[in-house]
Amino acid sequence: MRVKICGLTQMDQAIAISTMGASVLGFICVKQSPRYIAPETISTITEALPPIDCFGVFANAALAKIQHTVVTGKLSGVQLHGQESPTFCQEIRTALPNVELIKAMRIRQLQDLSQVQDYAPYVDTFLLDAYHPKQLGGTGHTLDWKALQTFRPEKPWFLAGGLRPDNIKQALSLLSPDGIDLSSGVENTPGDKNLDKVAQLLRNVKIATASKSAK
């Protein structure tokens, strides 16, 4: 189970979370976001971290900007959170063959899951997030977990959308994602993480996964 903590902006918090047991750190590369962080600042943080996956989150960005941010920020993953097409994903895969490519799907209704098959040949990982008309992520809105129980994509996937330390056990009792993604659920304010909540989350993930494997 990979645990991704997204929307980091502060070096001390990134270092702390990377040593607490998180698998992936996410940096928001969308200027309109309150969690936006510049590529040069990402670089100063990633250089100070122990070995850990670091993803940049983009939305409808140009390929050149994504490449620049990946190189400058020393990122190991690119997460696309906009309306990027399968063709664009193929272009990124060609341009950045050694970077993990994640396509986020903002799910408004179950029919939206059908588009996963169009992207599967070009991405490494999917991420399911709750749809919001004005925000691309970090909304705190949850998905219908029971409705997702038949979701079996051919690629690994992250569950996102409204996850918190106090509901992660329920989510993982109903679903078996390959990873989870949290931002607002472990924050004080956008970009300011609550380390106590992160620690509680990681404890509850361990409990939930142990309980599931024991069944």
Active site residue 166: no
Whole-prediction pTM: 0.93
Active site residue 89: no
**Average pLDDT value for residue range 171-195:** 96
| Residue 103 structure tokens | 């396509």
Torsion sign across C-alpha atoms 67, 55, 133, 82? positive
Q: Which of 51-60, 69-78, 134-143 has the lowest mean pLDDT?
A: 134-143
Instruction: Give me the domains of the chain, ranges plus CATH numbers.
Output: 2-214 (3.20.20.70)
For residue 38, count other CB atoms closer than 10 A to its CB.
14
- The DSSP letter of residue 162 is S
Query: For residue 102, how far is the Cα from the chain centroid?
Result: 8
Contact between residue 3 and residue 179 where contact means Cβ atoms under 8 Å apart: yes
Which of 6, 29, 54, 89 is labelled catalytic? 6
**Average pLDDT value for residue range 107-130:** 88
The predicted pLDDT at position 40 comes to 98
| Residue 105 structure tokens | 């799907």
Which of 53, 129, 192, 196 is labelled catalytic? 129
The residues that bridge with 77 in the sheet, in sequence order, are 55, 100
The predicted pLDDT at position 133 comes to 46
The predicted pLDDT at position 140 comes to 60
| Residue 157 structure tokens | 């996937």
